[in-house]
Chains A and B, each alone.
Chain A
Amino acid sequence: AQSVTQPDIHITVSEGASLELRCNYSYGATPYLFWYVQSPGQGLQLLLKYFSGDTLVQGIKGFEAEFKRSQSSFNLRKPSVHWSDAAEYFCAVGAYGGGGGSNYKLTFGKGTLLTVNP
């Protein structure tokens, strides 16, 4: 079964500083990988996704992530953080399970809470 580890529960950065959020996954095949962001009391908004091809993917709001198969990682980066980026960030792996191969679901990490200092 697939799993996702986000080692950092809480990260604090200053506005304008660079950001890297870590994500490690476990899955037997090439995974579909996602980063979602959740503001307080809200649902999840997709930041970016990796399905195949170029291992550096660009997303919305200036975020990017790099898929490294050798490290089973999909870290999220942003060169300059804005106060509005404060939120919780979730890494997820999408994978097919049993049931004839059509059972597909997302498995999420526990999230990283980002605080941005002025």
Chain B
Amino acid sequence: DTGVSQDPRHKITKRGQNVTFRCDPISEHNRLYWYRQTLGQGPEFLTYFQNEAQLEKSRLLSDRFSAERPKGSFSTLEIQRTEQGDSAMYLCASSLGPGNIQYFGAGTRLSVL
């Protein structure tokens, strides 16, 4: 059990470019969550998966954001046509079912220039 891993750790991109982040959860965890954290704020919920099904999306998740979890293992979060306001830390967490402890990865820090 190596914990939740996220890749890349840092991403710098120009406004208008597309970016994709990857999250590998703890292997037996069926729930996977994405959160966004901006400077001086706590993490904010974006979306979550139960196995491969995406069950809830926050209003923070605009049409430019899409998340997938094929085969119920790793997940990807894609942001199309990035904007400066997308600059943030994107955190992934996984848990064994709802209501259980969520274990977080180290995050991907996105900077949009």
Contact = CB atoms under 8 A, between A and B. Distances in A.
Given A36-B104, A43-B107, A97-B56, A106 B45 contact: yes
A97 to B, nearest CB: 7
A34 B56 CA distance: 22
A42 interface: yes
Contact of A106 (B6, B40, B55, B102): B102
Contact of B98 (A104, A110, A111): A104
B91 interface: yes
A96 B98 contact: yes
A41 B91 CA distance: 11
A42 B106 contact: yes
Nearest to A113: B40
Residue among A42, A49, A105, A107 with the most chain B CB within 10 A?
Answer: A105
A34 B101 CA distance: 9
Nearest to A9: B40
B41 A110 contact: yes
A102 B55 contact: yes
A72 B88 CA distance: 30
Contacts of A111: 40-42
B43 A44 contact: yes
Contacts of B104: 36, 43-45
Given A32-B99, A41-B109, A94-B99, A108 B55 contact: no
Interface of B: 4, 6, 33, 35, 40-45, 48, 50, 55-56, 91, 93, 98-99, 101-107, 109
30 contacts: A4-B42, A36-B104, A41-B109, A43-B91, A43-B105, A44-B43, A45-B104, A46-B101, A46-B103, A49-B101, A92-B42, A94-B99, A96-B98, A96-B99, A99-B55, A99-B56, A102-B50, A102-B98, A103-B98, A105-B45, A105-B48, A106-B35, A106-B45, A106-B93, A108-B42, A108-B44, A110-B41, A110-B42, A111-B41, A111-B42
